[in-house]
Amino acid sequence: MSCYIVLFEVQEASRLSALTDALKSYSSYCPVTAHAWAVITETGAKEVRDKLLPLVGRKDQIFVIRSGTEGAWLNAYGPKHSEWLKKNL
């Protein structure tokens, strides 16, 4: 299993809600910022992106990259999420 960072910009609130619900469907996930989440999956970056494509509009943006080399951050969404990031990135 690998950790993927999903960055996104969505124009409409309804699509944002659908997108975050889809990210929550992964067995393990962590919101990093309002527009960046980390997910754990056995699939690849293309498959993560493809799962989200039906939920976004033509002008929306999605970027998926596999984590695993090094990470640093400031002000994660609380200690629980910071610990998740330490463990999974």
Express each pLDDT in 16-41 by its tens digit.
999 999 999 999 999 998 899 999 99
Those residues of the chain that have pLDDT short of 50 are none
Sheet with 2-9: strands ordered across: 28-33, 36-41, 2-9, 61-66
Asked if 29 contacts 80 with a C-beta cutoff of 8 angstroms, the reply is: no
Domains with residue ranges and CATH for the chain: 2-88 (3.30.70.240)
Kindly state the DSSP code that residue 74 receives in the 8-state scheme. Answer: S
Decide: pTM greater than 0.85. no
